[in-house]
Chain A
Amino acid sequence: MKYALFLGCKIPSGLPAYATSTRAVLGHLGIELVDLEFQCCGYPARNYDRDAFVVAAIRNLALAECHALDVLTPCMCCFGTLRQAIRMMTEDAALRARVSRSLADDGLVWSGRATVQHVLPLLAREVGVDALKTAVRAPRTDLRLAAQYGCHALRPSDVTGIDNPVAPTIFETLIRAAGATPVDWPRRLDCCGDPSHESNAPLSGRMTRAKIVDAQEAGADAICTACPHCHLRFDAAQAAESAPAMPTLLVTQLLGVAMGLPAQSLGLPHAEDQRADAFP
């Protein structure tokens, strides 16, 4: 399997551990990742100018198409955005014509051949639970984790289609494959609050806090994430606390640790610091 890795903007600047751990885990599983000259997925422009948003998104897919690759992203928001752009291109012929003209300036063509995939369904379906269980050397049976799906992975389901939008199981399956126990938390499908942060920080803070409290009450050791926006929002909400009530753990870090990959390649502190620091 070979994919063009679309890291987006948030991961390289705010959460480089997600990039390194994704590369480490997927590399270990024999998936080849290629880096292309991608730009922003278009997400911030959606509130500003629809055409600019779609051009920005589709340019990335046209670039992947140019290299005959499908796109894989670890970011839920990039995933949702790129898929939304495909939907808009498919259902609006006038838009498609305008965007194609704009892409032609760069010598790019979009025909819809490049698909967009997220790390979660890739691991759960394409790699498969059996292959993962074989790769796991040190199952983390000690961990109880709250799976944070991320809105843009699940909804709108006719665009994202990674799992059942009201009763998804894909993330819990991965947590079990790593030997850990997923907790049942009522707010698991709720929004982390990040998209509202710029326009209304107090509201966003309440949304984040409610999820943290919920995960705590469900007895989770950490919230397991698969999106940099959710992950960093949880961290930011607890930044002022000396010991965060609810640590965050990336799904790729969890699997990497269970596979026995070196802590440094997962962006985790060295093994001896793990208990005390980021790793729960």
Chain B
Amino acid sequence: MSPGLFQTLLVASLALCALGIAWRVAAWFRIRIGPDARSVTAWQRVRGVLATVAASLSGWRGPRVLGAFCLDALLLRRLFANAPWRALAHLFVVTGFTLLVLTHALAPFVTARLVPGYQPTLEPWLFVRNLLGAMVLGGLVVLVVARWRARSRMGLPHRPRAALFATLLGIVLATGFLLEAHKIASPRAFHRMTDAFAGAADPTALASLRALWAREYGVAFDVRTDVVAADVTAAGRRLHEEACATCHAKPASAFVSWPLAKLMAPVAGTLDAVSADAWLLHLHVLACFAGLALLPFTTFLHVLAAPFSLLLDAVARHGAAPARPLPLAARATRRALSVDACVRCGMCDLDCSVATLARHLDNRYLLPSHKLVATREAASPRLRQAMRRDARALADARRAADGAFLCTDCGRCTRHCPVGLDLAELWDAGRDDLEAAGLPAAATWVRERPAIAWAESLANVGDRAVLAVVDASRAPLACDRRTFSRCVQCQTCTNVCPVVAHAMDADPRSAADPGVDLTPQKVMNLLRLGLPDLALGSRMVWDCATCYQCQEQCPEGIRVADIMCELRALSVRRLAAVRDVAEQS
């Protein structure tokens, strides 16, 4: 590769990387998740975060914050607690890669300046380079396998760009090892060097030098074209000491490339003939540049986002005693940062309290890793536009809302997140966004119209397939006359109902709480009359506190509260089917 092209590509990929990072980092301060985030500007957020971090680091609790940050971000304490093998692999990749960049990629600027007489082909660099490369490659393999297993087990979202980036990293390492192995075995490389440094040497000494290099340095000479002496003579050894030894150590310590070179020996001449070294070098360098340019646009941006998230986490948890919530500027930034800091490792999903529900309801949005992406989308005005245009986007957004509101806020995802996301706080903000986007919990959207309007919609839609059959297995009590036909309308249920009692103080003009529409006894009567649809959207059904007073006191032993629960489950399904019909009419 010509130096000009190399420089152009290097500058281009560096520029892309820098611009990409700037664009993505700006989003951490610009994206607004949660209605309260709208009250702070991006600039206020930048200043707020800086002030919060600076204040906590400079205070007397600073060392604690810093200590927690170092343990979490550099030593991956949280990951070690959950998945020690992955943590070890991750440490290998990060340490190996960073040191390779410093000692190998930036060798002219770093190693050569720090170590006088640096040559990449001397010890310890042959060994160190192999060690670092093996660390990265080994760690990468462990992480990819772990990721693949987690993905097939939990259906984590697929990320083609991240896969591409990991492939590029693999290419960089593979070509590095292959190039080194090829150079060890290559007769042409040997000739190039002897032409330059031992051009005037005696042919017999050169033949002896070849014998030495074939034996101890792994060069795979072709005996048909190269004269290789039978023995290493003193002259050959002297020539080696004069021309080679100052720059070359025996490559056997390159424990990956050396065996590779042995494997490649039979084809060393062929590889020379096709200029394999140039191809490998180009591939190696181009993969590096491509990776550099791609970095900001993949989840590998977490190399910046995750430490930032862990820093804010350390500040939130150790910055004050007793711990208090971060200021809104920092919280809003933390929310926006979440999607970039998340590596979709799936640890939150694995330990999610509603994982069984997610699987049974076939709704992936109950799982934190999917909900995270949906939360960021729900905050975007684009979602609202898409919902209006596209029925599928609307259905998907509603499933996301179901997931968000069925979450139990147990906080396990937050406790297990290796990058320190405050997911519990994010879910709260996300639910507010969903409500603002017209996607509230079932208990809210059902109440948006009176029971009679819902019943009319259901009647108008009539016997459409979706509504034709009330699924008796979903609501066996509400669908079985025998459970409620004994009702004598004595009103005991109504008399003991706290919802009815406290509705006396409700404000009939208020939209949220206008009082009771149907009493429990009336709900039972509608069931007796075969008019369950009239009860489905009623406030009584949805206000019911399931205190079971009605059921306990019913002289006929009717399971009133159990029926109320079934009616809710029924109404979620049936009213959802006519939700849009009702809104259009």
- Map CB proximity to B onto A9-24 as digits: 1 under 8 Å, 0 otherwise: 1101110000000000
Contact A49 B569 (CB under 8 A): yes
Chain B contacts with A in 393-429, Cβ cutoff 8 A: 402, 406, 408-412, 415, 424
Which of A151, A154, A165 is close to B545, meaning CB atoms less than 8 Å apart? A151
Given contacts A42-B357, A44-B408, A47-B569, contact A155 B547 (CB under 8 A): yes
Q: Which residues of A contact B352 (CB under 8 A)?
A: 39
The stretch from B84-92, B200-208, B297-305, B497-505 touching chain A is: B497-505
Q: Is B543 an interface residue (CB 8 A)?
A: yes
Chain B: CB-nearest residue to A57:
B356
Any A CB within 8 A of the CB of B255: no
A242→B406 CA distance, assembly (Å)? 33
Contact B547 A191 (CB under 8 A): yes
Task: Give the residue name and chain of the B residue nearest to A47 (CB).
Answer: B568
Whole-angstrom distance from the CB of A212 to the nearest CB of chain B?
14
Could you tell me the distance in whole angstroms from the C-beta of B577 to the nearest C-beta in chain A? 15
Chain B residues, Cβ within 8 Å of A56 = 354, 356-357, 360
In the complex, A203 Cα to B517 Cα: how many Å?
Answer: 14
Is B277 an interface position by the 8 A CB rule?
Answer: no
* B410 A12 Cβ-Cβ under 8 A: yes
Is B408 touching A92 in the complex (CB atoms < 8 A)? no
- CA distance in complex: A177, B474 (Å): 45
Minimum CB–CB distance from A142 to chain B (whole Å) comes to 27
For residue A67, CB closer than 8 A to chain B, the reply is no
A157 near B552 with CB under 8 A, answer: yes
User: Which A residue sits closest to B352, measured CB to CB?
Assistant: A39
User: Across the interface, which residues of A come within 8 angstroms of B356, CB to CB?
Assistant: 39-40, 55-56, 59
For chain B, residues 22 to 63, give those with C-beta under 8 angstroms from any C-beta of chain A.
none
State whether B513 touches A191 (Cβ < 8 A). no
A184 within 8 A of B: no
Task: Please tell me which one of the listed residues B355, B512, B548 contacts residue A39 in the complex, with CB atoms under 8 A apart.
Answer: B355
Assess the A47–B572 pair: CB atoms within 8 A. Answer: yes
Of the 9-residue stretches B68-76, B109-117, B186-194, B440-448, which lies at the interface with chain A? B440-448
Q: Which residues of B are found within 8 Å of A14, using beta-carbon distances?
A: 409
Min CB–CB distance B555 → chain A (angstroms):
13
Give the residue of A45, A95, A165, A210 whose beta carbon is less than 8 angstroms from that of B406: A45
Q: What's the Cα separation between A8 and B566 when bound, in Å?
A: 23
A264 touches B (CB below 8 Å): no
Interface positions of A from 15 to 59, Cβ below 8 Å from B: 37, 39-40, 42-52, 55-56, 59
B421 to chain A, nearest CB (A): 15
> Distance in Å from the Cβ of A51 to the closest Cβ of chain B?
7
Interface membership of chain B positions 330-366, coded 1 if the CB is closer than 8 angstroms to chain A and 0 otherwise: 0000000000000000000001111111001100000
Q: How far does the Cβ of B283 sit from chain A's closest Cβ, in whole Å?
A: 45
Q: Indicate whether B181 reaches chain A with its CB closer than 8 angstroms.
A: no
Which A residues lie within 8 Å of B424 (CB)? 13
- When the two chains form their complex, are residues A46 and B569 in contact, meaning their CB atoms are under 8 A apart? yes
Listed by A's residue number, 27 A-B pairs whose Cβ atoms lie within 8 Å are A9-B353, A12-B411, A37-B351, A40-B354, A44-B357, A45-B361, A46-B569, A48-B402, A49-B569, A52-B357, A56-B354, A56-B357, A56-B360, A155-B548, A155-B551, A156-B562, A166-B552, A190-B498, A191-B545, A191-B547, A191-B549, A193-B545, A196-B499, A199-B447, A199-B543, A200-B512, A200-B543
Interface residues of A (CB under 8 A from B): 8-10, 12-14, 37, 39-40, 42-52, 55-56, 59, 84, 92, 94-95, 102, 151-152, 154-157, 165-166, 190-191, 193-196, 198-204, 206-207, 210
Q: Beyond the given A49-B569, A59-B356, A195-B545, please list 11 additional residue pairs across the A-B interface where CB-CB is below 8 A.
A: A12-B411, A12-B412, A13-B424, A39-B354, A49-B361, A55-B356, A151-B547, A199-B543, A203-B499, A206-B505, A207-B545
